[in-house]
Structures are given as structure tokens and as C-alpha cells.
Structure 1
Amino acid sequence: MNALPYVDAEALGRLVPVTRAVQLLEEALRDGLDPEDTPQRPVVDLPGGQMLLMPAAIRAYAGVKAVTIAPDGPERDLPRIQGAYLLFDGGTLSPLAVVDGIALTSLRTPAVSALAATYLAAADASTLVVFGSGPQAWGHVLALRAVRPMEHVTVVARHEGRAEAMAARCRSLGLTARTISGDDPGTRAAVDAAVAGADVIACCTTARDPLFPGKLARDGAAILAVGSHEPDAREVDDDLVARSCVVVESRASALVEAGDVIVPIRHGTITTGHLAGNLAELINGSITAGPGPRLFKSTGMAWQDLVVAAAAYEAWT
């Protein structure tokens, strides 16, 4: 048997640019893909962290992503998230290719957020606050810049050096950028002011507790919460969820994995009926955002990986 083609990070970015990924995801939903039908991913606890297995099948293809999450990875100069994607022929179930799992996650997650922002963010949104300074934070800058006329980015991160490095990358794109880091009262005041003035807020962190007071997000702002996938971890608070039009990838996955909505439900702040709908319903016009903020909660789903991986394989061949 010949060795399977391996689509590395450089090849994936070339074969499926982020604008193409956004288009592919939207086309899949418009063609009738139902996020609620995606199998729930098992999460396996390991000595060094967790492993997530994410299987999906769509028409001509099937695939599975094995992702490991190692909280101590950065301390060892390793990524926190690693993994690989195995793509199969949908009819014969023969293996077709392996795709870099980190690159795939770093592409499809911001693309999903950008797709949601296309429908939730104001057409003239130009001010972005990004919590985090890792691959997802940078990916969100690139993706959101592709769908909205972004001009200014504020990077909020614990590590000053990494925040400054990301801000420099933003400036290289022609954006104005500043950083906020640290834990002193002045830092908190600066974060609050940035949140209050933001058109779009992207939460791309490993935080387990809310990053900012939800009452500060202005009406009409789009908030993208993508960093957590556990029922007890969240990046936004009850106040924001209660004020917002809340869109999730799928109700089924959100009510199992998304602490950002599970915790407010547990507190009695909202009920499941507060969820406005899922991403497919947003794309198909079934959701009308109200006067408050617009919150999109993402945990990452297997169908998204498969759509992008299949497109990369087709472009490769």
C-alpha cells in the first residue's frame, strides 16, 4: 500500500485559504447539512491531559480527527493542542489522506466564527478585541478581517511578550493594534473600556471563568466564544448570555459541552429556550437578532473538519 498523502500546515493554508473555508462551511449548511446530526465526540482523560475523537461522514467522504489537549504543553515548548486528521472515501471507507490536525483546527474554528460574524456583526464592524495570543487568536484576526472591514485590534493576553508579538503581526497587515496584559487595576479598567467600545469580541482562551463583565458589551456587538469545550468552563458570564441573542453550533453539542450556556442554565439565569438557534438556522434566515449583543458559542464540531479536509484533498489531487 502506498503511503497516504500528508497535507501539512503550509499546504492546507495554500489549498484552502480562510475565505474559501468560510464559503465551504456556508455551502455545506445551505445544502442541508444538519449540525444536530453530528455524532457527539468522546473525550478520554489521559495522564497528560485529554484526547478527543471527532468522527463525521458527509456524502463522498468520512473522517476522524484525533486531538490531544496537554495543559502543560506550552511549558515544554509544545502546543497545547495537537492532533491529526484521517480522511476516508465515503463509499469504500478506504483511507485517502492525513491532514495536520493543528493546522486544520486553527483554520476551521476561525472560519466558523467568521461565518457566524457575517450574520451577527454589523456590516461596518471595524474594532476587534481578541482575548488570547495563540494560534486561535491570530486565526480569528485573519478570518474576521476577511469578512468585515477591521481597522483596529486590541490584544488582551496574560503574557506580555506574546501579546506584543501578535500585535506586531496585526500591524504588518496594516491594522492598528495595541496590547493589554497584566492583572493590576489599571489593566482591568483598560480591558473594560476596550470591551465597551468593541464591535466584535473574540474569546480564544483557556480560561475557565468569565473574561469580562458582560454588562459592558454594547448592544449590537458580536461576541465569539470559542475557547472552552467543557460544561464547567466558560469565557462569558450570565449577564452577557441573558442579554444576548445566543447562537450555537448545535443545541445538542452546546447543552453537553458549552459551559458558557450550561452554567447560566444551571444558575436559572436562562432556560434552553433562550438559545435562538444553531448555525444552520442562522445561515438559513430563521434567526433574527434582537436589540442586545449577539453571542456565538462554538465548541468545534467534526463536520467542520471534514468539510475543510475534503476540500483540501480535492484541491491536492
Structure 2
Amino acid sequence: MSATPPVPHLPRTIDETGLLRALPMAAAVDALRAALRDGPDPEADPPRTIVPVEHGQLLLMPAHRSRYAGVKIATVAPDNPAAGLPRVQGQYLLFDAPTLAPLALLDGIALTTVRTAAVSALAADLLAVPEASRLVVFGTGPQARGHLDALRAVRPLTHVTVVGRTPANVERFVATARRDTGLRVEAGEPSAVAGADLVACCTTARAPLFDGALLPPHAMVTAVGSHERGSREVDGTTVLRSTVVVESRSAAAREAGDLIPELESGRLDREALVTLAGLATGAATVDPDRPRLFKSVGMAWEDLAVAGAAYEAT
């Protein structure tokens, strides 16, 4: 009589509340730092697959490391906000690497929000001056708030200026952030970057948000708003004035709209791009007399690192 095959376990479900409870920002930053230190080179990550559909895009982001494999399936529907729906939606499926058995199904948008802010926080910890206290944040959505919380975890913020297109959204963001953080938070204009230690660009802008000539030499800018060639949050002045840091040179050349015009014109040398892994391992350094620009496009290895840490903590 043949043995009955084992019944596979259903994957654990980790919703937004469970993810945020399991993985404080400091833990997410540590998971990413460890992945850069111990894992394969991010250059080896497979490219993001983008499939255009009638009302937006389908995105597929697989990754594999020694212990886990995983894939994020996300959608981008630009018209959704007008209908009161999220612009980006999705799920993340985490697998055991040796057996490829499914382990957990995570809220893909909560995961993306946490990992994007955590990557910026890691970059800021490696790039920003230790005493950085003044933040200018562009945007009023979940990523803007996530970046405020993430950057507070790595630098002693005291003053936050919020710049947004819709006054009501800015007012609401300011009031909530004041209440939750106890920091001095106020609405402002793009010119506020002239007094910034940190600048976080968390928007869907198609054109630059501020004049890069205004940046102080010690400022650190993180731009996370898009992975599309035709979008940019920072201008050519910011790019050419700064030491430019990326997650992966190949991913930046494919997807970093903030950098592609300068790369393709030859004004910015691809080999001059500093990688986050180089900084995290001590293989690279930056010029302290120039602004530092971290351009993130979001990569699958980041999702996997954060998803694995969340799974282990639940």
C-alpha cells in the first residue's frame, strides 16, 4: 500500500497590520543592510517585467536568495485615485528556496511602502551628514509619510517642510505628522531645499520638482517616485552636481528617468554611478563636498529581504 503524500501547508497570510507590527523600520533597514552585505550582487537580479494593459500596467518582480525565493505581482492603474481606489495594488508570495514550497502571502503594497522607505533610510544612513535635522519632503501620500518615519529612524530630525500640489492634502499631512511625531512640521515651497539637510521626493511627477542649484553642498536627496524612463523628480543640475548612488547600474540605465537623459547624452558616466552595495560593504565612498543623490527604482531583492524578515518575525 503506497504512502499518502504529505498535505502541503497553506501559506501564512501577512496583512498590512501584521507586517507593520512584525517589522519596525529599524528591522527593515537591518534586513536590507544584511542582504547587501551577505547576498548576491543586485546587478544579478532579473529585470522587472512590465506588461501594458488597457487601464495601466502589470508588474512582475521575482527574486531568489539562499533561503527564500519570492515574487511580487503588482498593478498600476493611473485613473484609480479619481475613483477613490489605490493607484498601485498587489500581493507578494514568499517561497522556501530549497523546496519552492509557498510560505507566506503578504500585502504587496504594504511591503512596497516599507521596503521603499527602508531603502531610502539605509541610503541616508550611509550618505547623510550625521547631524541632519531638516527634511523637505515632496508628496503627501503613503510614501511621503513612510519616508518621514524612516528617515527619523536614522537621523535626528527636528524640522520637516512638506511640499505638495493639493493644499488640502498638504494641510492634512502636516496636521497628522505634527500629532504623530511631535516634530515641527509645516507646509512650504520647493525653494525650501536651500535649507535642507535631507530631501525626499515621493511623487509621480513627470517634471523636476525643484531647482538643483539651490541644494546645499552637504544635502542628501532620495528620489523614489518612479521606475519609468519618462518621469523625473530631479533636474539635470541636481544629477550633475551630485555624487549619484543607485541600487544597480543596469537597473538605473533601464528605468531611472531621473538619470537616463544624462546617461544617454554622455554627461553622466555609467561607471561613475556609486552602488548602494559598494557603500554598504565599504568598497565605495562619496565626496563630502558635493550633494548626494540616491535614485531608487525599487528592486526585487529588496522586496525579498523585507518579506523574509517579516515572515521570520511573525
Task: Using structure 1 for the length normalisation, give the TM-score.
Answer: 0.94
Across the aligned residues of Structure 1 and Structure 2, the Cα RMSD in angstroms comes to 1.1
CA shift for structure 1 position 115:
0.1
Q: In structure 2, how many angstroms separate the alpha carbons of the residues matched to 1:278 and 1:79? A: 32
Q: 2:10 touches 2:102 (CA, 8 Å); kept in 1?
A: no
What amino acid maps onto 1:5 in structure 2?
A: R
Residue 190 of structure 2 is aligned to residue 191 of structure 1: yes
SS of equivalent to 1:287: coil
Aligned residue for 2:279? 282
What amino acid maps onto 2:149 in structure 1?
A: L
CA shift for structure 1 position 2:
4.9
The counterpart of 2:145, out of the listed 138, 147, 161, is: 138
State the number of aligned residues: 305
SS of equivalent to 1:147: coil
Residue 174 of structure 2 is aligned to residue 177 of structure 1: no
Aligned residue for 1:150? 157
The counterpart of 1:128, out of the listed 113, 124, 135, is: 135
Q: In structure 1, how many angstroms separate the alpha carbons of the residues matched to 2:203 and 2:38? A: 32
SS of equivalent to 2:283: coil
What amino acid maps onto 1:87 in structure 2?
A: L
Aligned residue for 1:27? 34
Percent identity reads 55
SS of equivalent to 1:227: coil
The counterpart of 1:112, out of the listed 96, 119, 124, is: 119
Q: 2:246 touches 2:294 (CA, 8 Å); kept in 1?
A: yes
Q: In structure 2, how many angstroms separate the alpha carbons of the residues matched to 1:266 and 1:301? A: 22
Q: 1:86 touches 1:98 (CA, 8 Å); kept in 2?
A: yes
Q: In structure 1, how many angstroms separate the alpha carbons of the residues matched to 2:211 and 2:271? A: 23
The counterpart of 1:80, out of the listed 58, 80, 87, is: 87
CA shift for structure 1 position 199:
0.3
Q: Deviations over 1:247-273 (max 9, x none)?
A: 100011001000111111233432223
Larger radius of gyration: 2
Aligned residue for 2:226? 228
Q: In structure 1, how many angstroms separate the alpha carbons of the residues matched to 2:11 and 2:269? A: 47
Q: 1:131 touches 1:203 (CA, 8 Å); kept in 2?
A: yes
CA shift for structure 1 position 146:
0.4
Unmatched segments (≥5 aa) in structure 2: 1-7
SS of equivalent to 1:259: coil
Q: Deviations over 1:60-95 (max 9, x none)?
A: 110000111111111111111110000111011111
Task: Using structure 2 for the length normalisation, give the TM-score.
Answer: 0.95
The counterpart of 2:294, out of the listed 293, 296, 307, is: 296
SS of equivalent to 2:153: helix
Residue 2 to residue 93, structure 1, CA distance change in 2 (3 Å)? closer
Runs of 4+ in 1 over 3 A off after TM superposition: none
